[in-house]
Structures are given as structure tokens and as C-alpha cells.
Structure 1
Amino acid sequence: MPAEPMAATLAETLVARQFKVAGADLHAGGLPIRELAARHGTPLFIYDGGVMRASYRALAQALGGFAHIHYSVKANPAPAVIALFASEGADVEIASIGEYRAARAAGVGPERVLFAGPAKRVSELEAVIAEGIGEIHVESYEEIARVAAIGDRLGTPVRVSIRVNPVAAAQGGAMRMGGKPAPFGFDEEDLENVVAAVKAQRSLDLRGVHLFAGTQILDADVLLSQWRHAIDVAGRVAVMADTPLKTIDLGGGLGIPYFQGDGTLDLAKIAQAVPDLLQLLRSHPLLAEARPVVEPGRFLAGPGGIYVMAVNASKLSRGTRFLVTDGGMHHHLAASGNLGQVIKRDYPIVAPARMDVSDKSAATVVGPLCTPLDTLARKTDLPALVADDLIAVLQSGAYGKSASPSGFLSQPGAGEILVENGSVTVIAAA
């Protein structure tokens, strides 16, 4: 009997779904990665604008008018990336004054910005309230008092939502953000006291609630369950406050496949649930005019990013093939497994200038740092590569350069470029 065809690897699936291959070359934004690396140097983060737009449009279509999208700037704060999503219609969610400045530099108006985070400094609050902010999501009693005092001093009503640490039943995802003691938001069981504290401040305009139950969620049923719980919480808060709510921030947490065996979030299932979600809202008299919000980051930016490294040396040590590169965990901590992975697994990796080579063998890909933690692949199949050949880590558009210890060992920084339709925008030089 003929042998069963081998199942495609995650890397092969992602390349086929998101990018173009011509001969030996993987392309991004209409240009060969080999050419981009030669022109802009390595290590290099390449962001394919077309792939990012496709991610946004697919989600917006699935949501079908149920929820508005706010891009979570923490995933990738490059102004060119923020501007891309803003041009598609996204507003933004920020967690610092630095992200506020990045969003404003990208042309995002202050009324389109939501500010969340457990430890906003007084100086940050003063700046955004003075310059303008869509909403501030309060997360402690101290923060309620600080925001109110600034609003009183400036004579400015401040729109706020209450961030809620939901009960355990609402949790899900690779990293659970609530349902346990947490610095994020107020415990759901304390909401009556929180609502009273906000309503007691004349300068605070209570707009809604914000729940963020988990990250890297690949199961649509888990996500939909969290969204229904958020609507339920919003209804209870509206009754406690005796006022209609304007905003229900459903959080982010939409995941993307990073590892072999990971599924893909089923947007069709989300689309099928939209009519019921809209009915759930409209059935509550104090939520009928509320605007749900989702704030994805990695789902929008992650698939379009490629981290490209050049091989410095290929060496054999006690039966293991090592490919030593000019990139590593100091640029891409998440790919090394040191940003939340319990079990170290490999991101999808390809040789972007050797895509036509079928003869591959296991290799360990490491960077230049003097630590065994600087490992970007423990056992990934790659062609026989030599010095100056290229290695590319897919799914690298989110939590890459800005989420990594770039100062460690004083290694050179990674470049960043946005490529779309053959046009290159340089974000940072290598």
C-alpha cells in the first residue's frame, strides 16, 4: 500500500495561508525576505501589512457589528503598526503613557483611547486627562480617588469603567488573568462597594465595565462564555448604579497557533453567536445602548510578523546540530519560551531563502547570548544551513522586540520594518 502522506507542519500551514513562496524565497509584503534582510540587515522584524489587515478584517466580519475593535498597543507599539489598524477602523487600548504617546503619534485621536492597567501613575493620569482620553478603566480604590481628584482640579468630567476580576467560572486561556487573587481590577464579589465609591465622586462618569479573563484563547466556546459573563456582570453593575451603561469591554485574549497541534480560533462559531449576544444585550433595559468592545493584540499583529536571523555558525556537539545566529531571546523572548511557557516548545520556523529544499533534519537554534536560555528552537527541522543563511520565526508580530530584554549583554538591537505591496516603512534600523 502507498505510504500515507505526511501531515503539514504548522510552519507549512502558516506559510501557505499567509504568505507567498516563489522558488526558494519566502515573500513578505510583496518582497523576498532574502532581499529585505540584505537591504536592512539582521536580526530583523518584518511586519507584513497585508497579513495584519487580513486578520483585522476577518475578526471585524465575524463580530458583525456586535463589538468594536480596539487594538491592544502592548502587543506591538510600533506607530506604523498602530496607524495601520487605525486606518482599518480600530481604536486602541493602552497601558502606559508611553503607549498613549505612541498612539497619538500614529494619528489616533484621544477620544479613541482606552487606558487600562493596575498601576497608573498620577503623572500619567494627569497627562491623559488634561490632553484627552476616551475612558480610564479604574482598578483600585486609590485609583478611583486619584482620577476623581484630578478631574475636580481640572474641572473635567472623567469617563471611567470598572475593571472586574471575574469569578473562577469565567476563566480560560493559556494565562488566566482572574478568578484568583490578582492585581488586575476589583473582585467581582465586591462590585456593590466599588460602584458606590465611583458614584460618590462628582467628577467621575461611570461608563461601563471591563473584564479580561485570560489570554491566548483558541477555543471559541471559552471566549463566548466569557463574553456572556461580561454582559451579565454589566447588567448587574448597571442595576447597582441605577444608570444605563455605555461600554462593555470584553477584553482581549484571542489566540493564534504557535505550536504544532494548536488549533485556530473558530471565527465562524463567533459569527454564529452574534445574534444571540445582541439579543442578550437588548433584553436588558440598561444595556440596550451599550457598545461592547474587544481589545485583541496578538490576534491582529502576531500572524503578520516574521523575525529573521542570520546563521553565524553551524556546529555539531555530541550528536546535536546547533545553528548559532545573530538573533535570540534578547529580541524575541517569547519564542525562547521565557515569556510564560511552562513546557518549552518551538515556534514555527523556516529557512526563508531555502524554501525549495525538502531534505531537512533536526536542529537546535540558539542566539549569541552566554546563557542556555537563549534557545529559539530545541528540535526543529531545517535544511543544511551554513554561515550567512537565514532563519525566520513566524507568528512574531506580537510580543517580540518590545517584550524582550534588549539590553542584555549589550548586543545590537533588532531592526523593524513594515512591508506592504512592495513598499517598506523603516520603524527601527538594525
Structure 2
Amino acid sequence: MREPVCRYVYDLDGLAAHAAAVVAALPGRCRMYYAMKANSAAPILRTLAPHVAGFEVASGGELAKARAVGADVSVLFGGPAKTESEIAAALRADVTRLHVESVLELRRVSAVARRLGRTADVLLRVNLAGPFPEATIAMAGAPTQFGIDEEALPEAVRAATELPGLRLAGFHLHSLSNNLSPPAHLAMLELYRDRVLAWEAEYGLRCEVVNVGGGIGVNYADLGAQFDWTGFTRGLAGLLATFPAHWGEIDFECGRFLVAACGSYFTEVLDVKRTRGTAFVLVRGGTHHFRLPASWRHSHPFRVLPRAEWDLPGPRPELADEPVTVVGELCTPKDVLARDVVVPRVRPGDLLEFRYAGAYGWEISHHDFLSHPHPEHHFTS
């Protein structure tokens, strides 16, 4: 008796080609770091390592995965709640920079650095007041756990420049997530430029690095209309001419934008039925494998891959030319992957391929809820 199909498939050659093209389009002074939180599978990291400037990590576990790729890989360590043991591990592993998000964290990094006899290069992550372009998730300009309010910068700059064991290298600004508009992203970088220039003048600083975060999005609603990276980098080249020469490095930290397209989640249809006027497609799998649709509250794009095999007695049910809602095997009505999507035909035994599942799919899912088997993971090249 065969088990129903349920697997992730990742195209490593496609990933390498995409990453190489993204990095090649960046103008001088710009560096592309990969935000590992999007997908930290070892084959993904090994594929990206030759193309990106390094990895951005947000935990001791991610740091260990980055170092497993290579001792010489440049690593940036961020995250809003670092422990002393994580900070110590980061300093022992010679991370390139720590992104610090509060004055207390500056004191914590200083204490650990002094204890280890190290100097930590730090960037201050700032929660700007805004306003910002519209995007799916705001990371600044509103109450969030991320960064230091602009109004608190005097104390933070004083701590970063006076506490022993610290060296202030610049600022980290990450204000939006899943932004799909190149003009809006360029406008945001102009805002960053103006703010950092003002801080340099106000506090007598000379930044070496400005980290502009990630936040470049993926259009899940229309896979054919993705962020225009070529147009964005053309505009970026002109904008960089207005940045001061002593900003020697402009860092990007993209995750989703780099890896989303390389992965698909395949799952087999187990049943189709109607209840209370709604057509449901029930699959082997669900949000415990692929939580992104529930997390982002969207219908994830999929296609039906028909299969002729059918070995059960009796008729094979089907749904045709009507809206269907795709649900998983969990005992909760929230286990929904797509809602009200019209399909020509779908039957038990068919496969569904959820495309652009390479980022924030398996990584953010509650794998062991109800203790169902995990999906297979295949990395192709």
C-alpha cells in the first residue's frame, strides 16, 4: 500500500541562477546578505554561499548552520531578544556585525565582549517614525518589538560610543516587509539617506555601513508580476550617487525574494466533498507543513496535476469548474491553504503543486501538531 504524495521539491540550479542575477545587478558598494530565516536548509545555504556576501542570522541555531557552511562566511547577527550565550557564541564565531535593538542590549553586548576580550562591531537598528510606503507588514513607524525609536537615539548613540567593547559602525533600517513597488522602495531608501545624514551631523558620527534591510516582496496573487529588480537596481545606481563616499557598504538582507521561487509543495488530494454549500478539497498535508498561507491569510497559488491512477472500488468523485477551498488533515478549521479558487477539475488521487513555496513554508510551520508524518524534502540540480 503506497503512502499519499507529500513533499517539498527545491530547484537548486534555478536558485543559483536567480541569486547570481540578483547580485550581478547590484551597483557598487551594495552587498546582498541572505536572511536565513526564510529557509535555512543546508543545501539552500550551500547553493547561495558562492553568490551572496554572507548570511544574516537571528539565533544561535542559525549561526551554527551558517558556520557549518564555512568558517569564512560573513555573518550578520540580528534579532530583537538575544541572550548572553548567543552574543558570546556570535563573538567567538567572529561574526561581522551585531545589529543591536535596545540600550540594554548594548550593555549586554558590552559586558560579554569585555568578558571575552573582544570588540563587537555594532549597528543600531532604528524604528523610524515614518511615514512609509504601503506593504504587507510594517516593521517600523508603529509600535513593534523591533529597533530603537528615533526619539531614543541620543541615549543609544552615547551608549554605543562610550561603552567598552563596542564599535559603532552605522545604522540598520528595516521598515517594510513584502514591498512590491520599486519606486516605493527607492523612496524609502531616500528617506534612509536623509535620516542617517541628519544623525551623522547631530551626533558627530561617520558611518561605515548602512544596512537597509530586506523587505522586497513576492507577488503571490500574480506570479507573473514580480518585483522589477532590474528597474529597481537602475534607480538604485542613480540614488547611490547621492550617498556620501564614506558609506563604504550598503547592505541588503533579503530572504523571501531570493528563495521563494525555488520551492514547490506537492500534496495529494485525499477527498473532495461539499458541506453547507462549499466545495472542499482535502489533501495529505496542510498548514503543519506549509503555514505560509495561514500566516499571511492568503490563498496560495497552486495548480492541479491530474493522475489517472485510481484503484478504489466505486466511482471516483470530482469537482469541476467551481470555486474550491483546499484544506489539510488537521482537526482545525484554520487548516486552509487556498480558498474559493476555481479549478477545471480536481479528483482524489490528483496532486496539487503549491508554487513559490521556497520561503517561510516548512521553516515556520508547526511540524508536530497532531503528530502527522513530515513531508519529504527533495533538492534537485
TM above 0.5, yes or no, is: yes
Q: How does 1:92-241 map to 2 (within 5 A)?
A: 92-107=55-70, 109=72, 112-241=74-203
5+ residue gaps, structure 1, are 1-37, 421-430
Residue from 383, 388, 408 that aligns with 2:369: 408
Counterpart Cα distance in 1 of 2:27 and 2:327:
44
- C-alpha deviation, 1:242, in angstroms: 3.3
Query: 1:315 maps to which residue?
Result: 273
Residue from 336, 361, 366 that aligns with 2:327: 366
- C-alpha deviation, 1:85, in angstroms: 1.0
Counterpart Cα distance in 1 of 2:15 and 2:21:
10
**Cα pair distance change 1:145/1:310, threshold 3 Å:** same
User: What secondary structure, in the 3-state scheme, does the structure 2 residue paired with 1:328 have?
Assistant: coil
Find out whether 1:280 has 2:247 as its counterpart: no
Find out whether 1:305 has 2:263 as its counterpart: yes
Counterpart Cα distance in 1 of 2:224 and 2:142:
26
User: What secondary structure, in the 3-state scheme, does the structure 1 residue paired with 2:50 have?
Assistant: helix
**Cα pair distance change 1:150/1:415, threshold 3 Å:** same
Counterpart Cα distance in 1 of 2:80 and 2:261:
28
Residue from 22, 36, 46 that aligns with 2:9: 46
Residue from 350, 355, 363 that aligns with 2:303: 350
Q: Kindly provide the amino acid, as one letter, of the partner of residue 174 in structure 2.
A: F
Measured on the aligned residues, the alpha-carbon RMSD in Å equals: 2.3
Query: 2:313 maps to which residue?
Result: none
Q: Kindly provide the amino acid, as one letter, of the partner of residue 295 in structure 2.
A: L
- C-alpha deviation, 1:405, in angstroms: 1.3
Query: 2:317 maps to which residue?
Result: none
CA displacement 1:105-142 (0-9 Å, x = unmatched)? 223635x1111111001111111112211100110111
Residue from 190, 214, 230 that aligns with 1:268: 230
Q: Kindly provide the amino acid, as one letter, of the partner of residue 399 in structure 1.
A: Y
- C-alpha deviation, 1:201, in angstroms: 1.3
Q: How does 1:56-95 map to 2 (within 5 A)?
A: 56-95=19-58
Query: 1:31 maps to which residue?
Result: none
Percent sequence identity over aligned pairs: 32
Residue from 339, 343, 357 that aligns with 1:396: 357
**Alignment size in residue pairs:** 369
- C-alpha deviation, 1:353, in angstroms: 5.0
* Farther-moved stretch of structure 1 (47-56 vs 92-101): 47-56
* Farther-moved stretch of structure 1 (135-144 vs 221-230): 221-230
**Cα pair distance change 1:48/1:94, threshold 3 Å:** same
**Cα pair distance change 1:134/1:149, threshold 3 Å:** same
User: What secondary structure, in the 3-state scheme, does the structure 1 residue paired with 2:146 have?
Assistant: coil
Query: 2:207 maps to which residue?
Result: 245
* Farther-moved stretch of structure 1 (183-192 vs 67-76): 183-192
Query: 1:23 maps to which residue?
Result: none
Q: Kindly provide the amino acid, as one letter, of the partner of residue 347 in structure 1.
A: H
User: What secondary structure, in the 3-state scheme, does the structure 1 residue paired with 2:237 have?
Assistant: helix
Counterpart Cα distance in 1 of 2:211 and 2:76:
10
Counterpart Cα distance in 2 of 1:96 and 1:41:
35
User: What secondary structure, in the 3-state scheme, does the structure 1 residue paired with 2:163 have?
Assistant: coil
Counterpart Cα distance in 1 of 2:111 and 2:263:
42
Residue from 282, 290, 295 that aligns with 1:332: 290
Counterpart Cα distance in 2 of 1:78 and 1:42:
21
Q: Kindly provide the amino acid, as one letter, of the partner of residue 250 in structure 2.
A: P
Counterpart Cα distance in 2 of 1:133 and 1:93:
10
TM-score by length of 1: 0.80
- C-alpha deviation, 1:395, in angstroms: 1.1
- C-alpha deviation, 1:277, in angstroms: 2.0
Query: 1:428 maps to which residue?
Result: none
User: What secondary structure, in the 3-state scheme, does the structure 1 residue paired with 2:98 have?
Assistant: strand
- C-alpha deviation, 1:372, in angstroms: 1.1
5+ residue gaps, structure 2, are 308-319
Counterpart Cα distance in 2 of 1:291 and 1:147:
23
- C-alpha deviation, 1:243, in angstroms: 4.1
Counterpart Cα distance in 2 of 1:90 and 1:419:
24
User: What secondary structure, in the 3-state scheme, does the structure 2 residue paired with 1:248 have?
Assistant: strand
- C-alpha deviation, 1:222, in angstroms: 1.4
CA displacement 1:329-365 (0-9 Å, x = unmatched)? 1111112xx3143xxx3111012356xxxx7543221
**Cα pair distance change 1:192/1:172, threshold 3 Å:** farther
CA displacement 1:295-334 (0-9 Å, x = unmatched)? 1100001011101101112223344332211110111111
- C-alpha deviation, 1:268, in angstroms: 3.1
Counterpart Cα distance in 1 of 2:202 and 2:160:
11
Counterpart Cα distance in 2 of 1:92 and 1:171:
27
Residue from 233, 245, 254 that aligns with 2:216: 254
Counterpart Cα distance in 1 of 2:202 and 2:168:
12
CA displacement 1:30-88 (0-9 Å, x = unmatched)? xxxxxxxx9x9732111111332233233223323341100000001111111111122
Q: Kindly provide the amino acid, as one letter, of the partner of residue 149 in structure 1.
A: A
**Cα pair distance change 1:192/1:238, threshold 3 Å:** same
Counterpart Cα distance in 1 of 2:4 and 2:190:
47
Q: Kindly provide the amino acid, as one letter, of the partner of residue 62 in structure 2.
A: E
**Cα pair distance change 1:413/1:89, threshold 3 Å:** same
- C-alpha deviation, 1:191, in angstroms: 1.8
User: What secondary structure, in the 3-state scheme, does the structure 2 residue paired with 1:218 have?
Assistant: coil
Counterpart Cα distance in 1 of 2:347 and 2:234:
50
Q: Kindly provide the amino acid, as one letter, of the partner of residue 364 in structure 1.
A: T
CA displacement 1:216-275 (0-9 Å, x = unmatched)? 000111111121222223323333453432211101000011114984212233122133
TM-score by length of 2: 0.90
